[in-house]
C-alpha cells in the first residue's frame, strides 16, 4: 500500500543518502512526464514517512540540464508527497554565504535555457500562469528555519538564488553580473524545479549547502574542483538528520 508521505527530500550534488536512515521501501515510478532520476526511497523517521530522491541519480549520472524535473516532482507527488524540501549544492557570491554555510533562500532568478520548464509544454495542455512572486513556500521556509534553530544549526535566512545552466561553472564576469542582479547564491538546479513545484501545487523550499565561493568571489582565489565541492558538502551532511527530525515535528 502507498504510504502517505509527510515530507519529500530531493538530494543534490553530494547528497545521495540521508545519514543514518535505512530505506524501507523503494518505488520505481513511471509518470506522465517520463522517468524520474531514480527510485523514490521511503523511510520512517520519528514515526513519519519521508521520501527521498537523488536529483542527479544515485551515481550522479545526470547533468543539470538532462534532469527530468517534471518527472521527479510528479513521482514524489504520486508517492503521496505534498511538501518538498530541495537540497541544493551551490556556490556563494556575497559575504554571508561562504563555504559550508547553510541558507534558506527566499528569492530566485532563472538564467537557465532550453529546459522543459512547465507542465504547459505539450500543445493542448492547459496553459498555467501560476503566481511566482514568492517562489518558495513561506510556511515550509519558516518551518525549516525553526527546525535548523532547534537543531542548533546556524542557517542564513533568505538570499537570492541564481539558477545557471551548467554543467560548467561560471566565469568571473557571469558571477559579477549575478551579483549586480542581486544574487547571493548560484546553482544549476533551482530552476525549473521550483516553478514546476508551484505548478504541481507542491509546497516547496530549498536548503542550500554552500560548497565553494563562486567564480571570482574567493578571497583566496584558486581553481574550484569537484573534490572541494564534495568535501564541503560531506562535511555538512551530518547536520541534516536533526534538521529533518525537527522539521517532521512541525
Ligand atoms: N556555480 C554553480 N553551481 C554550483 C557551484 C557554483 O559555483 N557550486 C556548486 N554548485
Atom of ligand 1 nearest to the CA of 213: 7
Q: Is residue 187 in contact with ligand 1, taking CB distance under 6 Å?
A: yes
Q: How far is the CA of 89 from the centre of ligand 1 (A)?
A: 7
The CA distance from 7 to 122, in Å, is 29
Peptide linkage before 184 cis (omega within 30 of 0): no
The CA distance from 213 to 144, in Å, is 24
Q: How far is the CA of 27 from the centre of ligand 1 (A)?
A: 30
Q: How far is the CA of 31 from the centre of ligand 1 (A)?
A: 29
pLDDT tens digits, one per residue of 215-248: 999 999 999 999 999 999 999 999 999 999 999 9
Render the burial of 208-233: b for 16+ CB within 10 Å, e for the rest.
bbbbbbbbebeeeeeebeeeebeebb
Say what the pTM is: 0.96
64 assigned to some structural domain? yes
93 assigned to some structural domain? yes
Residue closest via CA to ligand 1's atom 9 equals 90
Residue 97 reports pLDDT greater than 90: yes
Q: How far is the CA of 156 from the centre of ligand 1 (A)?
A: 18
Give the total number of structural domains in the chain: 1
| Domain housing 49 | 7-247
Q: pLDDT band at residue 131, thresholds of 50, 70 and 90?
A: very high
Q: Is residue 210 in contact with ligand 1, taking CB distance under 6 Å?
A: no
Instruction: Give the residue among 88, 46, 92 at the shortest CA–CA distance from 209.
Output: 88
- How large is the angle between the packed helices 240-249 and 138-150, nearest 10 degrees? 120
**Range 82-108 average pLDDT:** 98
pLDDT of residue 124: 83
The CA distance from 231 to 237, in Å, is 10
Rg of the chain on CA atoms, in Å: 17
pLDDT tens digits, one per residue of 43-73: 999 899 999 999 999 887 899 999 999 999 9
Q: Is residue 229 in contact with ligand 1, taking CB distance under 6 Å?
A: yes
Pocket test residue of 214, 216, 222, 236 for ligand 1, highest count of atoms within 8 A of CB: 214
pLDDT tens digits, one per residue of 165-208: 999 999 999 999 999 999 999 999 999 999 999 999 999 999 99
Residue 17 reports pLDDT greater than 70: yes
pLDDT tens digits, one per residue of 107-119: 999 999 999 999 9
124 assigned to some structural domain? yes
1 assigned to some structural domain? no
Q: How far is the CA of 59 from the centre of ligand 1 (A)?
A: 18
2 assigned to some structural domain? no
Q: Which helix or strand (DSSP H or E) is residue 58 part of?
A: none
**Residue 143: which residues within 8 A CB-CB, separation 6 or more?**
247, 250
Give residue for cell 525553526.
146
Residue 36 reports pLDDT greater than 80: yes
Name the average pLDDT for the chain: 95
Q: What is the CATH number of the domain that holds 28?
A: 3.40.50.1580
Residue 1 reports pLDDT greater than 60: no
pLDDT of residue 74: 98
7, 247 in Cβ contact below 8 A?
yes
The 3 state secondary structure assigned to 134-175 is: CCCCHHHHHHHHHHHHHCCCCCEECCEEEECCCCCCCCHHHH
Q: How far is the CA of 122 from the centre of ligand 1 (A)?
A: 31
Using a 10 angstrom Cβ sphere, with 0-12 exposed, 13-18 middle and 19 or more buried, the burial of residue 4 is exposed
33 assigned to some structural domain? yes
Please calculate the CA angle 215-219-222 and round it to the nearest 5 degrees.
55
Q: Is residue 192 in contact with ligand 1, taking CB distance under 6 Å?
A: no
193 assigned to some structural domain? yes
Amino acid at each position: 500500500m502507498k504510504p502517505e508521505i509527510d515530507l519529500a527530500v530531493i538530494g543534490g550534488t553530494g547528497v545521495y543518502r540521508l545519514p543514518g536512515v535505512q530505506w524501507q521501501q523503494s518505488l520505481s515510478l513511471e509518470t506522465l512526464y517520463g522517468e524520474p532520476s531514480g527510485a523514490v526511497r521511503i523511510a520512517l523517521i520519528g514515526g513519519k514517512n519521508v521520501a527521498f530522491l537523488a536529483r542527479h541519480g544515485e551515481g550522479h549520472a545526470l547533468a543539470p540540464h538532462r534532469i527530468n524535473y517534471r518527472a521527479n516532482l510528479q513521482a514524489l507527488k504520486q508517492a503521496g508527497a505534498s511538501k518538498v524540501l530541495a537540497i541544493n549544492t551551490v556556490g556563494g557570491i556575497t559575504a554571508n554565504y561562504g563555504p559550508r554555510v547553510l541558507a534558506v533562500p527566499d528569492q530566485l532568478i532563472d538564467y537557465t535555457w532550453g529546459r522543459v520548464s512547465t507542465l504547459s509544454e505539450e500543445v493542448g495542455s492547459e496553459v498555467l500562469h501560476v503566481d511566482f512572486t514568492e517562489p518558495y513556500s513561506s510556511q515550509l521556509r519558516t518551518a525549516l528555519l525553526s527546525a535548523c534553530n532547534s537543531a542548533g544549526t546556524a542557517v542564513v535566512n533568505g538570499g537570492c538564488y541564481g539558477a545557471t545552466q551548467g554543467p560548467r561553472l561560471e566565469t568571473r564576469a557571469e558571477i559579477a553580473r549575478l551579483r549586480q542582479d542581486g544574487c547571493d547564491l548560484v546553482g544549476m538546479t533551482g530552476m525549473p524545479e521550483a516553478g514546476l513545484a508551484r505548478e504541481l501545487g507542491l509546497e516547496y523550499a530549498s536548503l542550500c549547502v554552500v560548497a565553494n565561493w563562486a567564480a571570482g568571489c574567493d578571497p583566496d582565489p584558486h581553481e574550484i574542483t569537484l573534490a572541494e565541492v564534495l568535501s564541503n558538502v560531506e562535511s555538512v551532511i551530518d547536520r541534516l538528520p536533526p534538521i529533518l527530525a525537527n522539521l517532521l515535528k512541525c
